[in-house]
Structure 1
Amino acid sequence: MANVKLLYHYLITHFFKLCLLPLIALVASKASSLDQEDLQNLWFHLQHNILTLTILFAVLTFVSAIYFLTRPRPVYLVDYSCHLPPPHQKITVKKIVENVNKNRELDASHNSKIPESSLDFVLRLLERSGLGEETYIPDSLLNVPPIQTMAAAREETEQVIFNAIDNLLANTKVNTRDIGIIIVNSSMFNPTPSLSAMVVNKYKLRSTIKSFNIGGMGCSAGIIAIDLAKDLLQVHKNTYALVISTENLTRNMYVGNNRSMLVANCLFRLGGAAILLSNKSGERRRSKYKLLHTVRTHTGADDKSFRCVQQEDDDMGKTGVSLTKDITSVASRTITKNIATLGPLVLPISEKILFFITYIHKKFVNDKVKHYIPDFKRAIDHFCIHAGGRALIDELEKNLGLLPIDVEPSRSTLHRFGNTSSSSIWYELAYTEAKGRMKKGNKAWQIALGSGFKCNSAVWVALCDVKPSVNSPWEHCLDKYPVKLDL
């Protein structure tokens, strides 16, 4: 059966080429039979139809010019950098328990103490989360009691953003005065002046820069930022766009007892990424990737989707992000819609035909027939599934029919760095590069979920055999991965 399907895909993929072979043979045989007189007659007809040929040539030139002037400008990913926190910011499960117990002892208010049942709940979550013993949290949360001031939050964000940008600029040698667009996305921390203004001030970017700050859009905001940069690069010529994806933990660690809000504490960790995009034709030669597609899906018109992830106060007035029981069904529905939109853009025609036939059969013949799940591995070589948690990775692995090696970057990122929110897809891409798997022409699919509720995708094509950038976050730990978790 597998061989039959393989033959089918080969025949459909190369259908037009196979049809051209008899035509080419016919033309070749006719051409070989032409004598000198036939060639002279052909030249005579061409000479007497010079006006027609001139008009055809003019029309062809005009259409070609219109096409080249109006086609979308290619967007190149020159390079990117992921923040690697210092070793002293690593946090183990043992250290988390110690800190929680110390905070419980320091807490004079009995009502705000974390009860034993909630602590056991947190421990069970940590054990099943898929996170390892080398994830990171900021200094402010390592402190006992935690320091959740605005100053501490700024310090955390500056450390992450500036480190990622410094490494990116060192690797690309781009002059900051040449950057024309800056986009910073941070869902939970949006001070005044904005984070994008903070970057402008630090690197003395030019006064005409197009500056954008994206907030409150969850873990999928990184792809939203890329999509915005893509649109801006269609308008502004010969420039660079600097995109920064991060999240702040200092001001957003939940200190209450609500279990639906404690989940975020167990998954989210310190991280961030800086990405340099360009529409300069000269940058193609040294760029890693070209952006092929971005697809954004937003199901926020539905009340359940809108409220399934929400920042709010608990009964004790403690602020946190609550997750409702609807999140699984909402996520599944939103992912399905996003994939349905992306599929026609990337899937080969052989997969589209199978999907269409199954759809018609289910619609008009037998509604009990299962929907055909397209084989995305025929269009995509590498998958970067947002490291939001084991359940999310497991679900997409199952629904897309992926192999363990396909989700290895996601599982490894979750284990090594935890859920770093919108930047996790960049740690995953860096993992694929570090393993030496990204070859010229390979396509990588980044897919992420976010509150609201959103599912966003970006597809890139490698312009060369991509090597890991200098100071890759996997540089000193790659040999430990993949790890096998007995959960």
Structure 2
Amino acid sequence: MRAPISSYIEHTVLLGGKFDKNSRDFLVKFFPRSGVGSEASMPVSMHQIPLDGSMKNTVLEIETVLFTAVEDLLVKHNISPKSIDILVSNCSVSCPTPSITAMIINKFKFRSNIMSYSLAGMGCSAGLLSISLAKDILKVHKNSLALVVTMEAITPHVYIGRNKSMLLTNTLFRMGGAAILLSNRKQDKTTAKYELQHLVRTNIGFDDQSYRGIVHEEDEDGTVGINLSPKLLHVAGKGLRTNSTTLGPLVLPYSELIKYGWSIFCQKLCAPLWRKEVYIPDLKMAFDHFCIHAGGKRVIDAVAESLSLCEEDVEPSRMTLYRFGNTSSSSIWYELCYLEAKGKMKKGDKVWQIAFGSGFKCNSGVWKCLSDVDPNVKNAWSDRIHRYPVDIPDQVDH
């Protein structure tokens, strides 16, 4: 259900428990500045007073999101559920039993020999982790179809406490998910939209500050929530630099690699005379489009500054955050849908998906568009793409 900011603020004021006046005032102040608009959705249970974060409602949210996404995908591509060979799901904090993959297998009556994997605890970067797992399995099992479903269930994880670092998640996370179909079958080459060219995973959890960047824990009063460290932007920047160092040589044109190599050579052998800093390659030269995890307004701003991106480059991320909120691991797929609905994905274009997640992880996926994507094909943006982009004020009116 849609959660307008005005309704959300009113709902917040009525919550009891350990949710004191300072907590309410903080959220009322921060909500309009989060970059999330009034059309983002919340599960039904979060429109109730008191909140009902029961397992029943958690499973209802998972079924609502993923059953719809899977059914739309199968119908759109005329795929029989019996044709799916591999099924991978990810949902970080909510881990029901039976598993999410088992729920989908039961709903759509997949084959008994389907290879299924349910990932949990992997954070907002888990969408690309699931793609990575599916890719590795497809290397071993030829002539196969892999279905990847990605989401985060927020029903049981609303924080009703006094810790401001944990209250932030209430203003950002919203309901959403995605289903992605991968294939290594020869007959699918003519109909596939994208080819996965590179997938780079980095984990800087060896660093204590990075490891503590995003933590699901109890506060001083024993209330459970997700703690976003004040150092999170610094940690994300470190993760992006580490990831880019590995990705760069795989995607950059030779001209950029030569400039970088020459500056390193001069720095080491001509140190007394060479006063210039090491050349930083321009990663923008390798890509036509960017899908940055819509983790929050400040996250998008920080990545844009780090990569010297213009407003057009980050438009899919900003519009996704505004329209859908932070949908965790699925946000980069909403952004790709935005590019498609805008008619921007042309044959030969390369798109860079950047995902951040607890641990701390930064993952990159590079996709090459195999044919012009028809903007009229229905997707998550189809009913209102004509209204975007919109100007997003520093403070949204509520």
Q: Answer whether TM exceeds 0.5 for this pair.
A: yes
Matches within 5 A, 1:437-476: 437-468=344-375, 470-476=377-383
Encode CA deviations 1:162-187: one digit per residue, 9 max, x unaligned. 00001001101111111110000000
1:353 pairs with 242, 258, 275, which one? 258
- Quick one: distance in 2 between partners of 1:455 and 1:293? 14
Q: 2:154 is matched by which residue type in structure 1? A: L
Residue number in structure 2 paired with 1:92: 4
Q: Provide the C-alpha distance between the structure 2 equivalents of 1:127 and 1:422, rounded to a whole number of angstroms.
A: 23
1:333 and 2:238 aligned: yes
8 Å Cα contact 2:85/2:114 also seen in 1: yes
> Post-superposition shift, 1:155?
0.4
Q: What is the SS of the residue equivalent to 1:301? A: coil
User: What aligned pairs does 1:21-420 form with structure 2 within 5 A after superposition?
Assistant: 89-104=1-16, 107=17, 112=18, 114-364=19-269, 365=271, 369-420=276-327
CA distance in 2, matches of 1:370, 1:481: 40
Kept in 1, the 8 Å contact 2:194–2:367? The answer is yes
Single out whichever of 475-484 and 174-183 deviates more from structure 2.
475-484
Separation in 2, partners of 1:449, 1:327: 10
Q: Give per-residue Cα distances to partners, 1:230-258, cap 9 Å, x unaligned.
A: 10000011110000000101111111111
**Are the aligned partners of 1:373 and 1:400 in contact in 2 as well (CA < 8 Å)?**
no
CA contact (8 A) 2:13 2:24 kept: no
Which 5+ residue runs of structure 1 have no aligned equivalent?
A: 1-88
Give a deviation string over 1:201-255, Cα, whole Å, max 9, x none. 1111111111000000000000000011110000011110000000101111111
Of Structure 1 and Structure 2, which has the larger fraction of its residues in helix?
1
| Residues 45 and 155, structure 2, Cα contact 8 Å, conserved in 1 | yes
Question: Which AA in structure 2 matches 1:273?
Answer: A
Tell me the secondary structure at the aligned position of residue 155 of structure 2. coil
What is the CA-CA distance between 1:116 and the residue it aligns to? 2.4
| Among 408, 415, 426, the residue aligned to 2:333 | 426
- The offset of 1:98, in angstroms, is 1.1
| TM-score, normalised with respect to structure 1 | 0.78
Which whole-Å deviations, capped at 9, do the CAs of 1:419-475 have from their partners, x for residues lacking one?
Answer: 000000000000001110100010011010000000000000011001247431111
Confirm or deny that 1:482 pairs with 2:389.
Answer: yes
SS at match of 1:388: coil
Aligned partner of 1:292: which letter? Q
CA distance in 1, matches of 2:301, 2:268: 29
User: SS of 2:257's equivalent?
Assistant: helix
After the TM superposition, which of the residue ranges 276-285 and 127-136 deviates more from structure 2?
Answer: 127-136
Give CA-to-partner distance per residue, 1:31-85, whole Å, 9 cap, x none.
Answer: xxxxxxxxxxxxxxxxxxxxxxxxxxxxxxxxxxxxxxxxxxxxxxxxxxxxxxx
Larger Rg: 1
TM-score, normalised relative to structure 2: 0.96
Pair 1:270–1:318, CA change in 2 (3 A): same
Task: Note if contact 2:20-2:161 (Cα within 8 Å) is conserved in structure 1.
Answer: no
Q: Is the 8 A contact 1:222 1:422 kept in 2?
A: yes
Q: Taking every aligned residue pair, what percent have the same amino acid on both sides?
A: 47
Deviation at 1:117, TM superposition (A): 2.3
Q: Which amino acid aligns with 1:359?
A: I
CA shift in 2, pair 1:484/1:155, >3 Å: same
Instruction: Give, as a single letter, the amino acid of the residue that structure 2 aligns with 1:306.
Output: Y
Number of residue pairs the alignment of both structures matches: 392
Question: What CA RMSD, in Å, does the superposition of the two structures yield over aligned residues?
Answer: 1.4
Contact 1:92–1:135 (Cα < 8 Å) also in 2:
yes
Q: Which secondary structure does the structure 2 equivalent of 1:422 belong to? A: helix
Q: Please, which runs of 5 or more residues in structure 2 have no aligned partner?
A: none
Contact 2:125 2:363 in 1 (8 A): yes
Residue identity matched to 2:305: K
Instruction: Report the residue type matching 1:183 in the other structure.
Output: V
Change (3 A) 1:118 1:467: same
Residues 430, 468 of structure 1: 8 Å contact kept = no
**Residues in 1 aligned to 2:218 and 2:163: alpha-carbon distance in whole angstroms:** 10
Distance in 1, matches of 2:105 and 2:388, equals 37
Q: Equivalents in 1 of 2:93, 2:206: separation in Å?
A: 22
Structure 1 counterpart SS, 2:57: helix
